Amino acid sequence: MLDWLKKWYTNKFSDPQVVTLFLLLLIGFMAIYWLSGIMAPVLVAIAFAYLLEWPVLRLGKLGLSRAVSTVLVVAAFIGVATLTLMWLIPIVWYQGRNLLRDLPQMIEQGKAYLLELPASFPGVVSVEQINVLMHSVDERLMRFGTNMLQLSLASIVDLVALLIYLVLVPLMVFFMLKDKAQLTSSFVQLLPTERKLITQVWHEMNAQIMNYIRGKILEILIVGACSYSVFALFGLNYPLLLGVLVGLSVLIPYVGAAVVTLPVALVAFFQWGPTAEFGYLMLAYGIIQALDGNLLVPLLFSEAVDLNPVFIIIAVLFFGGLFGFWGIFFAIPLASLVKATINAWSGRVHPHVSLTEQQ
């Protein structure tokens, strides 16, 4: 057994490039894990820089310099984002306030439905079970209200952090785009000279991350806009608020769609009850989710869909637990990074080949 382990270790880790690759990945993961709070503005800026790299490249092919292209793209992005948020945030805030105002009435209506269950299903559901369930729901709502109050008090500090983000992030995005060549060159100088595997993984992941971020933003916009249009067409209450939630739910593959279905179904049920309108709305909503999972996602993430859904869910749970929101957002690229590393490791040149032949 020990001889087999020794042979396996010698075969897999005798190449110094393999050790370098694994050490670099380990240092990167540890740095993000321990410094994610401090480095959050940098991570946000990197995500936006990847998003805006494509239009900068397109303008560069038209003959504009890198600096001019960056100025135009960043200015246009900030302008569009500002106008969109100025329109979106007040409406979402108003509909969210109305939902909280109507929540007690919806809860009472739900209790009335529950109290009818023992008469409708005698011997299956008892009054005692309904009372225990309602008591548990009341406790959870009280806890939720307390958490929301604490969140509102902490939002004052978050407001200061938001102002810092609004200043620092656009500046970092601008210089990351304008000085990309210099920054990349400075980073490469820190790497060891034997970096064939690192280069192989980097080239594969660089294109994947750029396509992933652009595709994820497009998916959020398309799914959110379609959901809002369907909700507004049916006359569902709080259509923009629910449309935004459905759009943002795509950040969490598979799990997000299942979680956001609950508020959509509850709002529709309390508005119409068990009627045809409720069924038609949920059917339309199911069609949107089916088109997203079976058409839009394969179209936008042609490389990412090679990952089995089980691996994606495990990646969401694992990296989300490690890195929080950014671990969830980049779960698919990180899973792809693991896959690319394993592929590069397995397909590397055998250790007995000389470094001259490897180059």
Quote the tokens at residue 301: 């993430």
User: Measuring CA to CA, which residue among 288, 298, 220 is closest to residue 252?
Assistant: 220
Residue 1 within a domain = no
Residue 200 within a domain = yes
Quote the tokens at residue 76: 């246009």
Number of helices followed by number of strands (H, E) in the chain = 15, 0
What is the domain count for the chain? 1
Q: What does the DSSP assignment read for 151-202? A: HHHHHHHHHHHHHHHHHHHHHHHHHHHHTHHHHHHHHHHTS-S--HHHHHHH
User: Measuring CA to CA, which residue among 332, 292, 296, 297 is closest to residue 311?
Assistant: 332
Predicted pLDDT of residue 7? 66
Predicted pLDDT of residue 350? 44
Q: Give CA separation, 326 vs 30, 126, 155, 251, 255, in Å.
A: 14, 45, 20, 10, 16
What is the rounded CA–CA span in Å between residue 242 and residue 95?
Answer: 9
Residue 144 within a domain = yes
Predicted pLDDT of residue 356? 38
Q: 100 near 84, Cβ under 8 Å?
A: no
SS3 for 166?
helix
Q: Give CA separation, 293 vs 1, 6, 254, 288, in Å.
A: 45, 45, 9, 9
Radius of gyration of the chain (CA): 25
Predicted pLDDT of residue 357? 38
Residue 238 within a domain = yes
Which structural domain, as residue segments, surrounds residue 156?
Answer: 15-358
Largest CA distance in the chain: 83
- 2-13 helix and 16-35 helix, angle to the nearest 10 degrees: 90
What is the rounded CA–CA span in Å between residue 95 and residue 275?
Answer: 24
Residue 349 within a domain = yes
pLDDT in tens, the chain (359 residues): 666 666 655 665 556 666 677 777 778 778 777 776 677 788 888 888 888 988 999 998 888 899 999 999 999 999 998 888 888 889 988 888 888 888 878 877 877 777 777 777 777 777 777 777 777 777 776 776 666 555 554 554 566 667 777 788 889 999 999 988 888 888 777 777 766 777 777 777 777 777 788 888 888 999 999 999 999 999 999 999 999 999 998 888 777 888 899 889 989 988 988 889 999 999 999 999 989 887 887 777 765 556 667 777 788 788 877 777 777 777 777 777 777 777 766 655 444 443 333 33
Predicted pLDDT of residue 212? 81
Residue 326 within a domain = yes
Residue 79 within a domain = yes
Residue 10 within a domain = no
